[in-house]
Amino acid sequence: MATIIDGKAIASEIKTEIATEVKSLLDHGKPAPHLAVIIAGEDGAALSYVNSIEKQCKGVGYICSAYKFPANVPEKDILATIDFLNSDDEVDGYIIQMPLPKQVSIDKVVAHVDPRKDMDCFHPVNMGNLLLGKDCYAPATPHGVMELIRRSNIETAGKECVILGRSNIVGKPLSMMLLHKDANATVTVCHSRTKNLKRVCQRADILIVAIGQPEMITVDYVKEKATVIDVGIHRIPDPAQPNGYRVCGDVKFDEVSKKCEAITPVPGGVGAMTMACLLQNTMKAYKSRQ
């Protein structure tokens, strides 16, 4: 049976480190870090995530401001809020929760974001710095994956790493981070047009799955003794469960965990790390501004 990579425990460790640092700041008469969130619409998952951000910020001693708009919000109101946050010296960083309503242009929104306060790495300046291996705010989920790997003492140098998924949020930035000289992995990125996908996955010493398909990755995709990182999260209807559903990832955990060396569970793996790394980014922005 594989070693379970406990993202919840590692995230808790990070949050304890942050809370200790915030207490020291306050003891020395300094303000607490301040994270803001913009959300528009009534998407259940997005609202739940924002509520979680507010709760987690409170837990480590941060200030959190949430700017919540209805789904029919005019684009100019979102842009005005971004401009306000850019100029507010009390706000260290902010995120813009996706999805945005169709009348709001993502391109316009991104263009308005101050790269110094961009906690999601949406701005081209931050993406460019990430590509070049320069200091920047890494996207929270790829950052979370890298922290899981690092804090679990998983060797990446010279290892063959296969990423399933090429999104701008996970796959692309994560591939860059694994190529940087502090990781030194050999990286293959797969997608819906990749031929012989199973064969490519079977080469991986580290298999990172962000494909968006519930339990798609079965045991025959995985090399013996590989490390498997499951970024996916899904709710599957299940009448046997009290709430009528069960939560799973992109990997068929019960099968794969019997073959691989180490694996992240869902829930309790990468998802827990995303929030912790957003808090890390905010502390980094705070220190930069101070």
pLDDT tens digit sequence for 192-218: 999 999 999 999 999 999 999 999 999
Give me the residues paired with residue 161 across strands: 187, 206
Q: Can you tell me the distance from the alpha carbon of 153 to that of 67, in angstroms, rounded to the nearest whole number?
A: 39
The model's pLDDT over 88-101, given as tens digits with 9 standing for 90+, comes to 999 999 999 998 99
Per-chain mean pLDDT for the chain: 96
- Both 250 and 152 in a single domain? yes
DSSP category for residue 134: -
What is the pLDDT, as a whole number, of residue 45?
A: 83
- Both 258 and 154 in a single domain? yes
**169 part of a folded domain:** yes
**277 part of a folded domain:** no
| Closest by CA position to 119, among listed 10, 38, 217 | 38
**What is the residue whose two structure tokens read 């101050």?**
114
CATH number of the domain bearing residue 71 = 3.40.50.10860
Q: Can you tell me the distance from the alpha carbon of 279 to that of 191, in angstroms, rounded to the nearest whole number?
A: 30
Burial label for 160, CB within 10 Å (0-12, 13-18, 19+), is: middle
- Both 198 and 108 in a single domain? no
- Both 198 and 94 in a single domain? no
Looking at the structure of the chain, the number of domains it has is 2
CATH number of the domain bearing residue 187 = 3.40.50.720
- Both 146 and 81 in a single domain? no
Contact between 24 and 281 under an 8 Å Cβ cutoff? The reply is: no
- Both 173 and 86 in a single domain? no
Q: Can you tell me the distance from the alpha carbon of 228 to that of 225, in angstroms, rounded to the nearest whole number?
A: 9
Contact between 178 and 187 under an 8 Å Cβ cutoff? The reply is: yes
- Both 178 and 257 in a single domain? yes
**284 part of a folded domain:** no
**95 part of a folded domain:** yes
**14 part of a folded domain:** no
Domain end position, chosen among 114, 132, 158: 114
- Both 229 and 146 in a single domain? yes
Confidence category of residue 12, pLDDT binned at 50, 70, 90: very high
**13 part of a folded domain:** no
Q: Which two tokens stand for residue 210?
A: 């962000």
Count the Cβ atoms, other than its own, within 10 Å of residue 258: 12
- Both 175 and 230 in a single domain? yes
Domain end position, chosen among 96, 114, 132: 114
- Both 247 and 157 in a single domain? yes
**105 part of a folded domain:** yes
**96 part of a folded domain:** yes
Q: Can you tell me the distance from the alpha carbon of 133 to that of 119, in angstroms, rounded to the nearest whole number?
A: 17
What is the pLDDT, as a whole number, of residue 77?
A: 98
Amino acid type, 13: E
Cα 266 to Cα 199, 223, 231, 252, distances in angstroms: 25, 20, 8, 10
- Both 200 and 165 in a single domain? yes
The model's pLDDT over 135-146, given as tens digits with 9 standing for 90+, comes to 999 999 999 999
- Both 108 and 146 in a single domain? no
Domain range for residue 74? Answer: 29-114
Confidence category of residue 44, pLDDT binned at 50, 70, 90: confident
